[in-house]
Amino acid sequence: MTDEIRQDGKTVLKSEDGFSIPMFFNNLCGKNLSGNEYRNYIKYIALGEMGFKSGHIEFYRDGVLQRTGEIPKP
C-alpha cells in the first residue's frame, strides 16, 4: 500500500508504512493541531521544511483519491 500527499498534481510526501502520511495530512489540515501550534507547524515545518505551499492538497492511497484539504496562508 502506497500513501501520498500531492499538491498541484505532484507528490510531495510518500510512504508505504500505512500510518505516517494520513497523520501528516491531518496535521496539514489542522485536525491534529490547533492555535499557535498549528500556525507554527504550517509556517516552519510544512512550508519551511517539507516543500508544501499554501493551497489545495490531496491524500491518495494506491493512486485513489481519499481526501482533500487546504493548507492556509501563514
Contact 42, 56 (CB under 8 A): no
Residues 6+ apart with CB under 8 A from 22: 3, 59
* pLDDT tens per residue, range 28-68: 999 999 999 999 999 999 999 999 999 999 999 999 999 99
Mean pLDDT, rounded, for 22-27: 96
Of 1, 57, 49, nearest to 28 by C-alpha is 57
Mean pLDDT, rounded, for 10-21: 96
What integer pLDDT is reported at residue 74 of this predicted model?
81
